[in-house]
Amino acid sequence: MGKLKKLIDLLQVVQDGLDGQTFDWGNGQRSAWVTILKECGITLITKTQIQKRGYRIKRGKKPVGTAYFGSPISRHADLYVLE
């Protein structure tokens, strides 16, 4: 039951981000949680990744959160839900 509760909590964090309460993840959190969310059908990607895939961010859309990306870029970046 613990894994299910953690998944529900993680999905709630993303929902809160969509509602304007953004999150801020470290590199380890991002690495683990983006993978788990992808398995659930939710893709969190950066603005650069969106552009590389040939998509554009809809006007007025805000990021659901920010995450730290370690080496080699070592910076924070906004995350958006692709779907």
Q: In the chain, where are the structural domains located? A: 2-81
List pLDDT tens digits, range 36-55. 999 999 999 999 999 999 99
Contact assessment for residue 66 and residue 78, using Cβ atoms and an 8 Å cutoff:
yes
Helices (H) and strands (E) in the chain, counts: 3, 4
pLDDT band at 76 (very low <50, low <70, confident <90, very high): very high
pLDDT at 1: 64
pLDDT at 73: 86
Tell me if residue 55 falls in helix, strand or coil: coil
Per-residue pLDDT averaged across 19-30, rounded?
96
Q: What is the pTM of this model?
A: 0.90
